[in-house]
C-alpha cells in the first residue's frame, strides 16, 4: 500500500499497487508528451532547413539552366541569321543575273529599233530619189509633149494621156512600195517589241517569283500541302533525331475539335519529356477573305488542353508580308500559355528547342518530384503524428476523467467511512453509557419506593445491597 496526499483537500489516503502504478504511468506519459513535443519542434526545424536548402539549390540550378538555354537560343539565332544572310545573298545573286539578262534584252531591243529606223530611213531616201527621178523624167516628157503639140492636137492628147497614165502608174507603184515598206517596218517593230516585251515580262515574272520566294523564306510547297511538307520533313530525320518520338495526326474529335498533329517524346525509362500540339494553316493567294494567325490561337489552346499537351505551335503561311512572323520563332505566350507561331522552315528547330529545354529541365523536375515526395512523406508523418497525438490526448482525457472519478469515489468513500466511524464511535459511547448504567443497577435501587418488590425480596431472604 502507498500513502497519497490529495492535492485538492490535503487529506492523506492509501491506494493499492495498481492505482499507484496507474498514477506513475500518467506522470511518465506527461514527460513523454513534453519530450515528444520538443522532438517534433526539432524535426520541424530540420524540415524547414532542408526545404530552404533544396529551394536554394533548385534556384541556382534553374539559373544555370536558364543561362545555358539563353546561350543555346543565341547560338540558334546566330545560325538562323547566317542562314538568312545566305538565302538573301542567293536571292540577290539570282536577281542580279535576271536583271543583267533583262538589261541585255533592252539593249538588244534598242539596237534592233535603231537598225529598223536605219532601214526605214534608207528606204525613204531611196523612194525620194526614185520620185525625184520620176519627176524629172515626167518633166522631160512634158517638155517633149509640148514641143510636139504642133504635130497634132489628137496625137498630143493621146501622148499626154499615155504619158500621164505611165507616170501615175509608176507613182502608184512607188507609193504602194513605200506603204509596203512602211508596213513591213511597223510589222518588224511590232514583232520585235512583242518578242522583247514577252521576254521582259517573263523576266519580271521570274523576278516576282524570286521576291515571293524570298517573302515566304524559300519554303518549297510545289505539289504538296503544308501538312504533307511538315510530315515529310519530320520523317526524313525521325530515325536519327527523334527515335523514340510519337508524331501522328490528331484524329480524336470526340470533344468537337482536333488539332493537326501531336508530338510526344520520352526518355529511355518511358518518362515523357515534352508534348506539342501542332496546327498547320495555309491559304491560296486567290482567296478573297484573308485569315490572320490570331484567328486560330484560341482554338489551338483549347485543343492543347483537351489532349494534355504541354506546348502548342501554329505552323503558318498566313500573313506572308508580316515582318513579325517572317523573322523566325514568335512567342505568343502573352496571349495563350506556352504557344508559338512559326514558318514551315522553323518546324524542326522549334521541336528541337522545346525538347532540349525540356531535357535540361527534366533533371530538375526529377529532383523537385523527389523533394515533393519527401515533403509528402513528412506530411504523412506529421499526419500520423497528429493522429497519434489526438488519440493519445483522447486516451489521456479519458484516463484523467476516470482518475478524477476514482478520486471522487475515494473522497466519497472516505466521507462514508468517516460517517461510519463517527456512527460506530457514537454507538460505542452509547454502549459504554448503557454498560455504566447497567453496572449501577442494584436491588435496593430497584425496590426503592416499591414496597411490594421489597417484601418479595425479603421473603426470599435476600438482603438488599447497594445504596
Range among 136-140, 182-186, 350-354, 426-430 rated most confident: 350-354
How far apart are the C-alpha atoms of 50 and 377, rounded to whole Å? 14
pTM: 0.37
Backbone φ and ψ of 97, nearest 5°: -65, -45
Whether the predicted pLDDT of 287 surpasses 80: no
Query: In the block, which residue shows the cell 547566317?
Result: 82
| pLDDT at residue 74, rounded to an integer | 76
Percentage of the chain beyond pLDDT 70 is 67
Residue range 342-356, pLDDT digits in tens:
999 999 999 999 999
| pLDDT at residue 100, rounded to an integer | 75
Q: Where is average pLDDT lowest: 125-134, 273-282, 429-438?
A: 125-134
Q: What is the mean pLDDT of residues 417-444?
A: 79
Whether the predicted pLDDT of 273 surpasses 50: yes
How far apart are the C-alpha atoms of 99 and 102, rounded to whole Å? 5
Nearest to 26 by CA among 385, 399, 387, 408: 399
Contact between residue 142 and residue 106 where contact means Cβ atoms under 8 Å apart = no
Whether the predicted pLDDT of 271 surpasses 50: yes
Contact between residue 322 and residue 209 where contact means Cβ atoms under 8 Å apart = no
Assign a CATH topology to domain 228-361.
Trna Endonuclease; Chain: A, domain 1 (3.40.1350)
Contact between residue 1 and residue 15 where contact means Cβ atoms under 8 Å apart = yes
Q: Helix (H, G, I), strand (E, B), or coil: what is residue 418?
A: helix
Q: What is the mean pLDDT of residues 387-394?
A: 78
User: Where are the domains positioned within the chain?
Assistant: 123-223, 228-361
Amino acid at each position: 500500500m502507498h500513502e497519497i496526499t490529495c492535492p485538492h483537500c490535503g487529506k492523506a489516503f492509501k491506494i493499492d499497487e495498481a492505482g499507484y502504478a496507474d498514477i506513475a504511468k500518467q506522470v511518465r506519459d506527461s514527460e513523454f508528451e513534453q519530450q515528444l513535443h520538443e522532438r517534433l519542434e526539432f524535426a520541424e526545424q530540420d524540415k524547414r532547413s532542408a526545404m530552404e536548402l533544396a529551394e536554394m539549390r533548385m534556384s541556382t540550378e534553374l539559373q544555370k539552366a536558364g543561362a545555358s538555354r539563353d546561350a543555346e537560343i543565341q547560338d540558334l539565332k546566330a545560325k538562323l541569321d547566317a542562314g538568312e544572310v545566305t538565302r538573301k545573298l542567293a536571292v540577290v545573286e539570282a536577281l542580279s543575273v535576271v536583271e543583267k539578262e533583262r538589261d541585255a534584252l533592252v539593249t538588244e531591243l534598242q539596237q534592233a529599233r535603231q537598225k529598223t529606223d536605219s532601214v526605214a530611213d534608207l528606204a525613204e531616201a531611196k523612194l525620194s530619189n526614185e520620185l525625184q527621178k520620176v519627176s524629172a523624167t515626167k518633166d522631160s516628157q512634158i517638155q517633149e509633149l509640148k514641143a510636139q503639140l504642133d504635130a497634132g492636137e489628137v496625137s498630143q492628147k493621146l501622148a499626154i494621156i499615155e504619158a500621164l497614165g505611165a507616170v501615175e502608174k509608176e507613182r502608184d507603184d512607188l507609193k504602194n512600195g513605200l506603204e509596203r515598206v512602211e508596213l513591213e517596218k511597223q510589222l518588224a517593230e511590232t514583232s520585235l517589241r512583242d518578242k522583247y516585251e514577252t521576254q521582259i515580262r517573263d523576266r519580271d515574272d521570274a523576278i516576282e517569283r524570286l521576291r515571293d520566294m524570298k517573302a515566304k523564306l524559300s519554303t518549297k510547297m510545289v505539289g504538296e500541302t503544308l501538312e504533307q511538307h511538315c510530315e515529310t520533313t519530320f520523317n526524313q530525320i525521325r530515325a536519327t533525331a527523334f527515335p523514340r518520338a510519337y508524331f501522328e495526326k490528331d484524329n480524336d474529335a470526340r470533344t468537337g475539335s482536333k488539332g493537326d498533329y501531336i508530338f510526344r517524346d520520352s526518355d529511355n525509362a518511358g518518362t515523357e519529356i515534352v508534348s506539342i500540339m501542332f496546327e498547320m494553316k495555309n491559304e491560296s493567294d486567290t482567296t478573297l477573305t484573308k485569315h490572320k494567325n490570331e484567328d486560330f490561337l484560341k482554338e489551338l489552346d483549347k485543343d492543347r488542353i483537351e489532349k494534355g499537351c504541354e506546348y502548342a505551335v501554329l505552323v503558318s503561311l498566313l500573313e506572308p508580308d508580316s515582318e513579325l512572323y517572317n523573322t523566325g520563332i514568335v512567342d505568343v505566350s502573352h496571349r495563350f500559355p506556352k504557344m508559338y507561331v512559326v514558318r514551315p522552315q522553323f518546324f524542326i528547330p522549334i521541336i528541337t528547342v522545346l525538347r532540349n529545354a525540356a531535357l535540361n529541365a527534366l533533371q530538375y523536375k526529377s529532383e523537385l518530384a523527389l523533394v515533393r515526395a519527401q515533403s509528402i512523406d513528412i506530411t504523412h508523418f506529421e499526419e500520423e503524428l497528429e493522429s497519434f497525438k489526438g488519440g493519445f490526448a483522447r486516451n489521456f482525457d479519458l484516463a484523467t476523467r476516470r482518475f478524477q472519478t476514482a478520486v471522487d469515489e475515494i473522497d466519497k468513500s472516505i466521507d462514508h467511512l468517516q460517517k461510519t466511524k463517527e456512527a460506530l464511535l457514537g454507538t460505542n459511547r452509547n454502549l459504554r453509557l448503557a454498560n455504566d448504567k447497567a453496572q449501577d443497577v442494584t436491588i435496593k435501587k430497584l425496590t426503592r419506593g416499591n414496597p411490594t418488590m421489597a417484601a418479595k425480596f425479603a421473603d426470599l431472604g435476600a438482603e438488599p445491597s447497594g445504596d
